[in-house]
Amino acid sequence: MKKPLILLLTFLIAGTLLAEDGYRLWLRYDLLSDKTVLNKYRTGITAIVTSGNSATAAIAKEELQNGLQGLLGKKILPANKITDGTIVAGTPTLKVISSLSLGNHLAKAGKEGFIIISTVFNGKKIIAIAANTDIGVLYGTFYFLRLLQTQQAIDKINILSVPKIQNRILNHWDNLNRTVERGYAGFSIWDWHKLPDYIDQRYIDYARANASIGINGTVLTNVNANALVLTKTYLEKVAALANTFRPYGIKVYLTARFSAPIEIGGLKTADPLNTEVQQWWKNKTNEIYQYIPDFGGFLVKANSEGQPGPQNYGRSHADGANMLADAVASHGGIVMWRAFVYSNETPDDRFKQAYNEFKPLDGQFRKNVLVQVKNGPIDFQPREPFHPLFGAMPNTPLMMEFQVTQEYLGQGTNLVYLSTMFKEVLDADTYSKGKGSTVAQIVDGSLDGHTISAMAGVANIGNDRNWTGHPFAQANWYAYGRLAWDHDLASSQIADEWIRQTFTNEKIFVDITKRFMLASHQILVNYMTPLGLNHIMGNGHHYGPSPWSANLPRADWNPVYYHRADSAGIGFDRTTTGSNALAQYANEVADRWKNVNTCPDEYLLWFHHVGWNHKMRSGRTLWEELCYKYYEGVDSIKAVQGQWDKLEKFIDKERFSQVKMLLAIQVNEAIWWRNACLLYFQTFAKMPVPGKHEQPDKTLEYYKSLRFPFAPGN
């Protein structure tokens, strides 16, 4: 009789010592708390049958066993024969799978898709997880375990899931010295000094987490590239990571410094049309593939923000991309050439730069080149209209670049769920081939008939114990992966999945948390950059408001360039009376946005210089509306703070307290943004903050005096 008590005390002590630190992400596999659901799963799942001898097949088997044991609280053992409740996971090499007449469905599944179906085999009720490849089986395994974690019905499953985008990639802006540009979760997880001989468990857990949401590629190094990563010493290290990731279906990519032939190759030029340069890249690429047979290819930032590129030699972006594409083509590699460029001279309108440079090159790139386009035309601002290149280059595969890390969205201290922002762009209608020509259809290749597709997300991962710094930032990594697999998923579904797996299935917690997650992006936009304001953050570190900044050498690095506030009004005129950037969009889009009265409020100051007394749809003047939005943003995040306080009893103390403290910081930062921006814009509007609002308690001079020399991520 003493033994159960000893065991109970052991678990209680362990529970006290092993605090919930967030390391397990959404793969916690804790015992299900709903007894009704738990008992139903326990009686419905009795054994496991798997196939395959590969490392990937072994991982799928182990994942299934560990997941079931954790969720159900009992071991579900491998079996040699089929009984009622057997989970059968494998490819058609497994006799059970081949006998289920899944051929037509498997033909649609391709190399990575999978089928999960409840069916009958020899009179026994089974659940089959079937795919054409072992990696497909692994993806299906994670999907099935997600259903269990979120307490979904499994007795009538009939699922065919196929990724809509082929290359689903994380871009790590990690430097070789382990700093992370725009990273807010510590240093880089890649410990280059210890590689290749020391394989940190974190690398394996990283690969596992990515595989669980369908991410199949990782760019290890910063787009502001260092050529050293292409040398033998570092290629051995990269190969060690590639070997670790391969069983999880993840390919490794590298950023290619365009001047590498000079810096590490001893050549006098990096001209892409020079035969010696072309041969150097071919030789270097062959060397890379000797170390990494499944190397994915190169990501390139060229002729942008000081990075070298083909224009240094009077060549085009297509010339540079094609040289590298030819080098990797025979190996099946791809080149992702970033369209984030703007002139080294003072530009007409930075909004127009990428379109002006890349639109004339449509159709000139090799078939294995994708042009990587940011979601908006400036630079990952809290809200941007979709980039005008989407829909403008039908003869070139365009891939999406999202920023998962929150450079302009509160960085490491603000709770902002980004799926709603990602979806806003993906669902946008470009009208490039008539109504319904969405950005998503361009990215997945279906609109223009491209056979290659990709999506990139700038990673928010660091060596913080919980991976992303802010506990809720994990949701953005998760959402990016889920949308890269299936861009038709709703943000509410993704949030629901993440909450249930990461915290609890308790309905009150899920409902409240999901509600403020779905509102969080708009809340942030309101207290930072409402009505289409953008690029008004601090210089360099991009932390906090600085709409008054005007001291940087380039006009388009300064916030005053973007908001153009004066005594007459505020906003950037991009109509025919201004820069005419709207001409880069289809007529149906431009016609709506060019009229100040039909332009959506959220894009108003992106495209119009609007008078302070302009009457808004709400009936308020522009100045009053600006004040209203800023105050609404602060009030809303205060409300979230109150909602979180009500959820303490539902989750662990550690993460509850962490989020509580971060929300307090977020409220203070929201007030800072509101007060600093309104006090500054008030100097032009010459009108008071409406009396019903709490008045700023500090002066504009105070906010201007703030300095942050060691802000993270800079």
Helices (H), 430-472: 439-443
- Identify which of 97, 137, 454 has the alpha carbon closest to the alpha carbon of residue 298: 454
Cα–Cα distance list, 337 to 304, 318, 454, 602 (Å):
12, 9, 12, 30
Residue 589 CA to residue 73 CA, distance in Å, equals 55
**Helix, strand or coil for residue 511?**
helix
Rounded CA separation 113/30 (Å): 27
What tokens were used for 476? 């953005």
| Catalytically annotated residue among 357, 407, 464, 669 | 407
User: Which residues, including other chains, have CB under 8 Å from residue 315's CB and lie 6 or more apart?
Assistant: 271, 272, 273
Task: Give, for 611, the enclosing helix (H) or strand (E).
Answer: strand 610-611
Which of 611, 609, 608, 633 has its CA nearest to residue 622?
611
User: 196: which 2 tokens?
Assistant: 């290749």
Strand 398-403 relative to strand 369-374, pairing: parallel
Phi, psi of 88 (to 5 degrees): -110, 115
Residue indicated by tokens 């008590």: 5
Q: For residue 483, what is the DSSP state?
A: H
Q: Is 305 noted as a catalytic residue in this protein?
A: yes
Helix (H, G, I), strand (E, B) or coil at 158: strand
Instruction: Answer for the pair 207, 217: CB distance below 8 angstroms, yes or no.
Output: no
Task: Residue 449: count other Cβ atoms within 10 Å of its Cβ.
Answer: 8
| Cα 424 to Cα 383: distance, rounded to the nearest angstrom | 9
Catalytic residue from among 236, 305, 427, 566: 305
Q: Which residues contact 649 (CB under 8 A, 6 or more apart)?
A: none
Query: In this structure, what is the dihedral angle of CA atoms 507, 509, 512, 515, given to the nearest 10 degrees?
Result: -80
> Which tokens in the block code for residue 355?
């379109």
- Rounded Cα–Cα distance for residues 644 and 361 (Å): 51
Element (DSSP H or E) covering residue 604: helix 604-607
Helices within 451-530 (DSSP H only): 474-485, 491-502, 507-528
Neighbours of 137 (CB within 10 A): 28
* 427, 364 contact by CB (below 8 A): no
SS3 of 68-101: HHHHHCCCCCECCCCCCCEEEEECCCCHHHHCCC
Tell me which residue of 206, 38, 606, 553 sits closest to 345, measured CA to CA.
Answer: 553
453: which residues sit within 8 A by CB, 6+ positions away? Answer: 164, 165, 166, 167, 370, 397, 399, 443, 444, 445
Angle separating helix axes 507-528 and 622-645, nearest 10 degrees: 150
Q: Strand, helix or coil at 59? A: helix
Instruction: Report which secondary-structure segment, H or E, holds 308.
Output: none
Catalytic residue among 84, 379, 448, 635: 379
d(CA 191, CA 237): 10
Question: Cβ atoms within 10 A of the Cβ of 102, count?
Answer: 20
Active site residues: 305, 379, 407
